[in-house]
Structure 1
Amino acid sequence: MAEILSLFNFEVHITASGRGGDEALARCAAFSEVQGLEANIEVRELREGGYNLGVRRLVAKTSHPNLVLKRGVTLDRSFWAWVERCLDGTFPLPYVSGSVLQFPPGQDRDAAEPARYRFTNGIVTKVKAADLQATSTTNVAIEELHIAHEGLTRVAP
């Protein structure tokens, strides 16, 4: 398994949220591209009386776009069980928390300390399997996986 996963620079590790419905589900998958590791902070402008230097800018709510994981593979059947549970809508929905690990390219994974991003209360909103071709030798099984979540933090190594 380590040989296949070492071809990808990103891993996604899933942990149970404790809300129920996510026991024995997804644990690990590897991807070659991750998008959505960002936070957007809404700014509100306030014209304050007596303050003539300009408009005050106040910080409002923070939002996070979906995580988009591309060109991935997993050998864990429970990962697909989690995706299927998200898509079929049975209650309770399998919200999970997890980490996205970014490994330095070309280094031994056991020796390298990955960058970690932690997301909370994530659920699959879109999955796209790779196109199947008889002559293809690709190991990619998941073309795209979108995870909507409620928060993202960078975890110091």
Structure 2
Amino acid sequence: LVTCVDEIRSVKALVKELMAELDAENIAYNKDIQVGAMIETPAASLIADLLAKEADFFSIGTNDLTQYTMAVDRGNAKVAYLYSSYNPAVLRSMKNIIEAANAVGIMVGMCGEAAADPLLIPLLISFGLGEFSVSATSVLATRGTIAKWSKAEADELAAKALSLATETEVAELLKANVR
């Protein structure tokens, strides 16, 4: 759960130290080790532009990002109704993270339930998501949904969705435009 730039810098320093140890012992290894960041916290979302300058790639963990953004335990029935990736705050977080990664040319992928959600896929296309990490049973359906959307169509839907104020409004719009 990355929350600040210092964490990425610490990991990169540790990797560099371990590489030096392997070099000193003449142990072969892949010298092109990449250090990415799992973006799952509101803090990471808010400083995604800064983290993108430090990380080699991003992976957005939508289950935790949604839970922490909405400050809700998805396992608690009393507040589970607040857990939704269609919430405007969650959508704006996803968009911010993806745009920050794309702005500096690092790969950004997404794992979690949202990556395979046929209602969210056009928004993720619009935002510029580079990789959808889905379960094996969701690969064909996800690929099929992606193939149904042009970037221009996805951009039009995303603009409408991002202008809405509630999770219910977003969900209704997305359901009305499912393909």
Same fold (TM over 0.5): no
Greater helix content: 2
- Superposition TM-score, scaled by structure 2 size: 0.23
- Superposition TM-score, scaled by structure 1 size: 0.25
User: Quick check: which has more Rg, 1 or 2?
Assistant: 1
Q: Which one scores higher on RCO, CA 8 angstroms, separation ≥ 6?
A: 1
